[in-house]
Structure 1
Amino acid sequence: MRPGMTRRQLTAHAAWFGAAVTLTVVGGEVTSHVAGGGTAAAADNTTNLRFVQISDSHLGFQGTANTDVVGSFARAIDQVNALPYRPEFVMHTGDLTHLATPAQFDQAKQMMSGLRTGAVHTVPGEHDAIHDSGRTYRTVFGAGSRGDGWYSFDSKSVHVIALVNTFSLEKLGHLGADQLDFIRQDVAGLSSDTPIIVFSHIPLFAMYEQWGWATDDAGQALSYLRRFSSVTCLNGHVHQIFTRTEGNVTFYSATTTAYPLPHPGDSPAPTPVTLPAGALGAALGIREVRHVQGQHNLAVADRALA
Structure 2
Amino acid sequence: MDRVLQQPGEHPDRTMELTRRMFLHKSLLAGAAAGVTSAGWFPWLNTLDLAFGAEAFKFVWVSDSHLYPKTLNTRFVDKVTRAIKEVQAMSPPADFLIYGGDLAQLGDPVELDLGAEILKEVTIKKVFIPGEHDWYLDMGVKWEKLFGKSSWTFDHKGVRFIGLDTVSRGPDYWTAKKMTPKERMGHMATLDGSVAGAWAGVGRDQLAWLSTTLSNWPKNKPIVIFSHNPLYEYYPPWNFWVRDWREVHEVLTPFTNVTNIHGHTHQVLYNEIGKVRSIGMLATSWTWPYAPEGVPTLTKCKVRVDPGDPFDGVGWSKLTVGAAEKIENDYVMWRKDILGEAPWDSACADNANQILSPRLADRQWPYYGAYK
Report TM bin, short chain. Answer: 0.7 to 0.9
In 1, the alpha carbon distance for the partners of 2:112 and 2:120 equals: 12
Contact 1:23/1:33 (8 A) holds in 2: no
Unaligned runs of 5+ in 1: 1-6, 25-30, 39-44, 267-272
Alignment partner, residue 287 of structure 2: 260
SS in 2 for 1:232: strand
1:277 corresponds to which of 284, 308, 318: 308
**Distance change (3 Å), C-alpha of 1:192 and 1:13:** closer
In 1, the alpha carbon distance for the partners of 2:315 and 2:205 equals: 34
1:303 corresponds to which of 332, 335, 350: 332
Residue 68 (structure 1) shift = 0.9
Contact 2:306/2:312 (8 A) holds in 1: no
Residue 277 (structure 1) shift = 1.1
**Distance change (3 Å), C-alpha of 1:240 and 1:12:** farther
Code of the residue aligned with 2:165 in structure 1: it is V
In 1, the alpha carbon distance for the partners of 2:134 and 2:258 equals: 27
1:56 aligns with 2:71: no
In 2, the alpha carbon distance for the partners of 1:209 and 1:249 equals: 19
Alignment partner, residue 117 of structure 2: 110
Contact 2:266/2:287 (8 A) holds in 1: yes
Code of the residue aligned with 2:218 in structure 1: it is S
Alignment partner, residue 41 of structure 1: none
Contact 2:38/2:272 (8 A) holds in 1: no
Over the aligned positions, Cα root-mean-square deviation in angstroms equals 3.1
**Distance change (3 Å), C-alpha of 1:109 and 1:83:** same
1:206-254, Cα deviation, whole Å (9 max, x unpaired): 1112221110112212222222221110111011110111232110110
1:203 aligns with 2:230: yes
Code of the residue aligned with 1:54 in structure 2: it is V
1:261-305, Cα deviation, whole Å (9 max, x unpaired): 222129xxxxxx984212x3231111011224663x532110113
Unaligned runs of 5+ in 2: 1-29, 171-196, 294-303, 336-372
Contact 1:49/1:88 (8 A) holds in 2: yes
Residue 116 (structure 1) shift = 3.7
Residue 181 (structure 1) shift = 0.7
SS in 2 for 1:77: helix
In 2, the alpha carbon distance for the partners of 1:14 and 1:202 equals: 24
**Distance change (3 Å), C-alpha of 1:217 and 1:78:** same
More helix by share: 2
**Distance change (3 Å), C-alpha of 1:61 and 1:237:** farther
SS in 2 for 1:99: coil
What is the TM-score normalised by the length of structure 1? Answer: 0.79
